[in-house]
Amino acid sequence: MELTGYRFGRIEVDGKEWTRDVAVLPSGPRPWIRKEGHRVHPEDLQDALAENPELIIIGTGYTGILTVTPEAETLVKERGIELLVMKTGEAVEAYSELSHNRRACALLHLTC
């Protein structure tokens, strides 16, 4: 999938504009709704984990306010999946570079 045009609160996924947080999965993009607004819990990763990825990239927002709980990090690592956590602009770049030769998911917080 192609990610373009990221700016605060907006991104294009394969030409379709998203204005809410988005999970970019091998099966297609879908809304990324979390248990808690600015924290990622294990249950927030279930759609991505169901895709059996090699890599999960979490975009923590424009300024990086989103955090990943230790339990969520442990869940991903216990399954042998690489986890990258970075500001959303950097996450978009990383996904664009790494998803061509790896089964990857990007979980993107689009604001703050």
Q: What is the pLDDT along the chain (112 residues), one digit of tens a residue?
A: 999 999 999 999 999 999 999 999 999 999 999 999 999 999 999 999 999 999 999 999 999 999 999 999 999 999 999 999 999 999 999 999 999 999 999 999 999 9
Instruction: Domain ranges for the chain, please list them.
Output: 3-108
Predicted TM-score (pTM) of the model is 0.97
Q: 107 - beta bridge partners?
A: 23, 58
CATH class entry, domain 3-108: alpha beta
Hey, what long-range contacts does 8-13 have (CB within 8 A, 24 or more apart)?
Answer: 8/62, 8/110, 8/111, 9/110, 9/111, 10/110, 11/88, 11/92, 11/108, 11/110
